[in-house]
Amino acid sequence: MTAVLPETHSVRPPTSEDARAILELVSDYNTSVIGFADYTLEDAQDELSEPGFVPETDAWLVYVGEQLVGYGSIFGKGDHRDLDADIVTADVDVERWLLDRVLGRAAEFAREYGHPAVQVDTVTYQADVARRDRFAGYGFERGTTFHRMRIDHAGPVAVPEVPAGVTVRRGTPDEAGQRAAHDVLNAAFEGQFGFSPRPFAEWKASQENHSAFDWSQLTLLELDGEVVAMRLCNDQFVEDENCGYVGRLAVLDKARGRGLAKFLLRDQFAVDAAAGRSGTILHVDTNNPTPALGVYLSVGMQAVLVMEVWRREVGA
């Protein structure tokens, strides 16, 4: 049965001018669950301006009078087979209404892109047991669990020795370097939960839309003249936690076992410590087919927050 909002509620799509109101809504919700905002104004602005995101059809703001009480959105990458949904509200009835809009738009994406069905993923904090139970009741199943990993830097961190035979490429890359990073990322993450390969132009535009990113934060590793590993960092946790962030770290299968991932991690720790950062953060899928979690633990990182991805298949 389709949810219906009370007559006291109104709905409209968001614009870039709504970023601060969305920030307040999300921050209040997150603080009620985990004790801190875990969200910034730049995060809200980046989401609303993400290349390929169409707020007029793919997002909804719900108001009671002048008060924003709900925000929902859905976004697809690449071939739109896997979709990311976001629903934020403290009102269960509004949540159900937003979910209906999200699932309806997901079915439209399936038809538009020629898929018999698509996967809709939404992230919830593990601590929010009530929300988790509600989404199970909505037909979602737990897909995977992500840990936010962190290591603190109390002072300078030693720069690690470069592995034998490896060339490190730092600084703003040319397009060839960007394409090499893109190729390594797609090859290394192929088949992993929720990863949707994106065409180079789409991926590049998304990176450049991110207010906390610039290309100088891309590092490439070469073996025998071939790029075999990449690390893509940004400053999205600088404002709220004064931490560097490893957004993506990827090593090709044929180059694993040489200590490249550990080198890239320890190297970033040294970079962040030298910049005066309090620590370094990254996220890891605990069901990753590679031993990523073990690698992060082995270099001193610890889990500080747990999030779950809940998934539902939506037919065309």
CA separation (Å) from 30 to 25, 88, 112, 145?
9, 9, 34, 18
Q: Is the pLDDT of residue 291 over 80?
A: no
Element (H, E) at 29: helix 19-34
pLDDT at position 1, please? 63
Contacts of 176 (CB under 8 A, 6+ apart): none
Contacts of 111 (CB under 8 A, 6+ apart): 316
Give the C-alpha separation, 48 to 63, whole Å. Answer: 18
Question: pLDDT band for position 286 (50/70/90)?
Answer: confident
Instruction: Specify the 3-state DSSP secondary structure of 187.
Output: helix
Tens digit of each residue's pLDDT (9 = 90 or more) over 149-169: 999 999 999 999 999 999 999
Return the bridge partners of 67, or none: 64
Tens digit of each residue's pLDDT (9 = 90 or more) over 194-218: 788 899 999 999 999 999 999 999 9
Tens digit of each residue's pLDDT (9 = 90 or more) over 269-285: 999 999 999 999 999 99
Provide the residue type at 163 as one letter: P
CATH 3.40.630.30 given to domain 9-139: yes
Q: Which of 175, 170, 307, 188 is nearest to 233 (CA)?
A: 170
- C-beta of residue 78 within 8 angstroms of C-beta of residue 271: no
Q: Would the CATH topology of 9-139 be identical to that of 150-307?
A: yes
Q: Is the pLDDT of residue 115 over 80?
A: yes
At residue 23, φ and ψ (nearest 5 deg) are -55, -45
- Give the start-to-end residue ranges of the domains of the chain: 9-139, 150-307
DSSP 3-state percent helix, strand, coil across the chain (nearest 5): 35, 30, 30
Instruction: Specify the 3-state DSSP secondary structure of 307.
Output: strand
Q: Which of 20, 98, 84 is nearest to 50 (CA)?
A: 84
At residue 187, φ and ψ (nearest 5 deg) are -70, -40
pTM: 0.90
Q: Which CATH class is domain 150-307?
A: alpha beta
